[in-house]
Structure formats: C-alpha cells, structure tokens
Amino acid sequence: MSLLLVMGIALTLGIVGFTINSSKMRVTERVAGFQKYSVARNIAHSAVNMTLRAFDRNDTTLIYPLEAGKTVTITRQMMDGQSVVTAKLPPSMKRDTIDFTTVGTAQDSSYWMKLRLQRSPKPFPAVNACVGFASPGIVYNTDGKPHRITGEDYKMNGTRGNPAKDTIGVATKTAADSAAVAPDAANITGDPYKIKVAPPDDPSAYINEYIAMADYVFPNGSSNNGTYGSAAMPVIGYAKGEVKFGGNGKFYGVLVINGSIDFTGTFDIYGLVLCYGSDIQISVSTSSGNPSLYGGLIMSGAPGSKFSLKGTPQLLYSTEALEMAKYIGKMQAYKVIYWYYQ
C-alpha cells in the first residue's frame, strides 16, 4: 500500500513537473518567435526607409533603372537577417507614384509589406511661361541678334510637343514690364499670348534651399563643358558670377544663376532655370550652333533688375523637361496612399 502511495505521489510530481517544463518551453518558443517576428518587421520597415534614403542621395544603382513599367529589386543584409525590396513606377501613372513591396526575414520568420507612395517636389514653382519675371521694373535688354523665346511646347529631343500644352512666351509682373519686353516681340512666340501680365511664382523664398542642396557649384570665372545629370537622374546646379558653358555639354535639372552665363558651344540645358540678383545676362559667343534651354526660366530680383540676352540663345518651353526636373531625389516629399502588411 505504501509502495503504491509513493508511486502515485512520484507520478503526480512527474506530471506536474512535465507540465511546468512544457509550459516554460512553450513560453520560450513564443517569446523567441515574437522576437524573430519583431526583427523581421523592423528589417522590412528599415528597408523602406533605406530605399527612400537612396532616392534622397541620388543613388544611381537605384535611380537609373527606375523608369515607368520597370521593376528594381534591392537585397540587403541587416540585423542578422535579410530584406528584399522591389520598387517600380506603375506604367499607367505619372512618375509621382512609386510602388514598393518589401519582405524582411529573420531566421524562419518573415514580414511582408506592400505600399504605394505619392511623391511631390518641395519646393518647385509653377511655370506658366517660357520666361517669367517675378519682380516688377525689369530692365530688358537684347543685342538685336536672332535669339528665340517660345511658349510653344517642345520635347527634349527638339521636336514639337503637345500644342495643347502651349503657353505664354514671356510672363511679366506688370503692364510696364510687358511694355519693356514688347520691342523684342519679333523673337517671341506663344499661345495664346507672346507677352502677357501673368505673374509667375516667385522662387526667392526658397532659392537658398536650392543653393544649399546643389550637386554642382560653378564658381565665378569657371569654364564647364561636361554633362551634368541625366534625364533619369536630374541634379541641382548653382552658377555664381561670370560662368562659361561650352562644348557639347548638357545640364539636366534645376540651374540657379546669380550673375551671367556665356555659352561658347552648343551646350543645352534641360529643366528649370532660376535667376536671382540684380543683373542677369545670358549670352552666346559662338559662331556655330544655337545653345538651347528646354523647360522654363523664372527671374526674381529687386525692382529694376536687369535681364539681358546676347547672341543667339534659344529658350523653348518644354513640359517634358519641367516634369523631369521635378523628380530630383533630394527634393521629394512622400505621402502614403496605402500600406498593407502581414
């Protein structure tokens, strides 16, 4: 009888011990599983942040392949795990929409997210003409040579764009400014107006932000004949003082000018030119070729500022070039359209 009692007690204690140990093991497994899940989740979120940071830094390994309808895959090792991010521009939408799918993996646990972001430039002025004067009292000068300013829409390859997107040739702040530009009307085209009082956005409030973010600084007295940026990766440039651009070079993006630029070849600019200061001069000192701006130009300065065109520059309004210039990585703000996870 005593033996049976002892065996019963031992069996009971064994069952209790086994139950306690099993419970501890399950708790340990759950804690470990949650920890792996948490790490996988953190990896997935960090991967999205790192990808957006790559945009911000104009990371060419990501930016160059990312075109409408194409998908880019980025794999990273982090936090003792792995992330796989796919990024693409939906083919039916503008470049302002980006789709991300990201998977974070930690050991045998994974975390999946799908999100759509809408990006917009901050800041970027509305461009309502090929050339816009945001300040009153502009002193407008030319040397009589056959230059060209047109509000007709052109593509970046020099062919005619969409006539429905044609705009004003020169937009001014006041009627007096329009009268100052009027003697040059033979070199200006636009639809519906060559010259019109239609004050453009004034970029003076954030011009210093562009300068601070400049990818290229062209100092006073410099001569530049390279290619700066590309259609897939536009940049910000800052030209201060008397700056020359020559050869068959190109610039893509936003160019800030404080002073004068002189073209000595067939150098072309694609995007937005922002002029600020009291004396802006754009000149061409070459006997061959016609350097061109595809996009738009806005000038902001104190009342009575001077704007001079010399030689044979061509200023052509281009919605394609302006749209391209909006998507400089470091200028983007992002808004979440949807964000799913599991």
The pLDDT, as a whole number, for residue 217 is 96
Residue 216 burial (C-beta neighbours within 10 Å; 0-12, 13-18, 19+) = middle
Rounded CA gap, 237 and 254, in Å?
Answer: 6
Rounded average pLDDT per 10-residue block, the chain, 342 residues = 59 55 54 75 92 81 72 89 90 79 91 92 90 92 91 96 97 96 96 95 90 94 92 92 90 94 89 88 69 94 88 94 91 90 80
pTM reported for the whole predicted model: 0.82
Is residue 193 within 8 Å of 265, Cβ to Cβ? Answer: no
Radius of gyration for the chain, computed over Cα atoms and rounded to the nearest angstrom: 30
The pLDDT, as a whole number, for residue 168 is 98
The encoded tokens of residue 210 equal: 């562009």
| Structural domains present in the chain | 1-121 (3.30.1300), 129-326 (no CATH)
3-state secondary structure of 143: coil
Rounded CA gap, 96 and 321, in Å?
Answer: 15
Contact partners, residue 6, CB within 8 Å, separation at least 6:
none
Contact partners, residue 154, CB within 8 Å, separation at least 6:
160, 161, 294, 316, 317, 318, 320
Contact partners, residue 190, CB within 8 Å, separation at least 6:
129, 130, 150, 151, 152, 166, 167, 168, 169, 170, 196
Contact partners, residue 132, CB within 8 Å, separation at least 6:
170, 171, 172, 198, 199, 200, 201, 296, 297, 298, 299
